[in-house]
């Protein structure tokens, strides 16, 4: 297992990762329900981001602004590193993923989004000096195979232009995670404070994307009525609360454990999404999807009970 302090830290990190995966899965299901009821991507993204910011403000006020000013004043380099990481993660990654989803198939999008596990683990090995081994590579291969079966039902992936955007999103998410882990590791900064930076840094990027889209392709902007649809706004607010909790436990998991441990164990998210989709949305799963989910769960158990991703 490692040294005597590894187990308590890993236990805390595991709890944070499982909560992160659970809230992320709930957010995905909530978003699917919103789009099924007529939500448009750009208004929904902006409304969800603002709702997440409001939820984080309620949870963290009144001290959050004072702590942000203190961090920017006493550790400006760390402040801007964390702000850039969050802008990359939520703003750039989220925007590229939206474009990719619009330009590829749902099967491709579901599978390729989890390629971030591979990019995060490799970047953590290169830049954070986290360990790489054949056992870790084997666990990653088992997880990716399980995710493939779970998200595609064994169908072939036909290449689309949008695939490149999703892979770009994975790279942005991974670079953001590595920068966050680097900033949180060895510094006394609160992971909850770092979470508050995510919508502050990411929403301007998404807004710039919306403005650029309006200028270049005005016909693609949803009608005004879709921006102020009260039933859809209810979906956005709930999604924003779930997104805020997702970010909160993502930051805590990166503070408490390695980046590779976080990204590998969070592959349980597609399994949770499938279970919730069956329960809440009435979707059906096939035998091959059950097989894929079982492979992901078994690989996650292997990662937890071994030391392959703890350092």
Q: Establish if 210 belongs to a structural domain.
A: yes
Q: Which domain holds residue 280?
A: 6-305
How far is CA 269 from its chain centroid?
A: 10
Give per-residue pLDDT as tens, 275-287: 888 888 788 888 9
Reduced to 3 states (helix: H, G, I; strand: E, B; else coil), residue 168 is helix
Residue labelled with tokens 């400006």: 76
Taking CA atoms, 187 is separated from 75, 79, 123, 177, 184, in Å, by 10, 11, 20, 16, 5
For 138-174, the pLDDT digits (tens) are: 999 999 999 999 988 888 888 888 899 999 999 999 9
- Structural domain contains residue 310: no
- 272 found inside a domain: yes
pLDDT in tens, 102-117: 788 767 787 888 899 9
pLDDT tens figures, 233-243 = 899 999 999 99
Residue 311 lies in a domain: no
Domain count within the chain: 1
Query: Has residue 259 been placed in a domain?
Result: yes
């Amino acid at each position: 297992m490692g040294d005597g302090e590894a187990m308590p830290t890993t236990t805390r990190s595991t709890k944070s990762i499982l909560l992160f995966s659970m809230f992320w899965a709930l957010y995905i299901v909530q978003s699917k329900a919103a789009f099924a009821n007529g939500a448009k991507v750009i208004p929904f993204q902006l409304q969800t981001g603002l709702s997440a910011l409001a939820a984080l403000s309620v949870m963290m006020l009144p001290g959050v602004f004072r702590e942000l000013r203190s961090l920017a004043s006493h550790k400006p380099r760390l402040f801007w590193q964390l702000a850039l990481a969050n802008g990359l993660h939520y703003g750039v990654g989220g925007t590229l993923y939206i474009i990719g989803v619009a330009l590829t198939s749902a099967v491709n999008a579901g599978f390729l989004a989890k390629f971030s596990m591979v990019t995060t683990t490799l970047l953590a090995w290169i830049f954070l000096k986290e360990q790489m081994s054949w056992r870790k590579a084997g666990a990653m291969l088992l997880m990716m195979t399980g995710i493939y079966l779970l998200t595609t039902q064994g169908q072939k992936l036909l290449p689309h232009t949008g695939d490149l955007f999703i892979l770009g999103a994975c790279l942005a998410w991974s670079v953001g995670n590595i920068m966050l882990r680097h900033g949180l590791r060895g510094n006394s900064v609160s992971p909850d404070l770092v979470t508050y930076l995510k919508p502050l840094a990411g929403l301007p990027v998404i807004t710039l994307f919306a403005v650029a889209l309006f200028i270049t392709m005005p016909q693609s902007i949803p009608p005004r009525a879709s921006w102020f649809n009260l039933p859809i706004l209810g979906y956005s607010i709930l999604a924003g609360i779930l997104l805020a909790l997702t970010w909160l436990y993502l930051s805590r998991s990166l503070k408490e454990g390695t980046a590779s441990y976080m990204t590998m164990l969070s592959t349980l998210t597609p399994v949770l999404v499938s279970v919730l989709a069956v329960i809440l949305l009435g979707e059906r799963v096939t035998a091959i999807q059950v097989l894929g989910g079982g492979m992901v769960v078994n690989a996650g158990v292997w990662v937890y009970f071994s030391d392959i991703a703890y350092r």
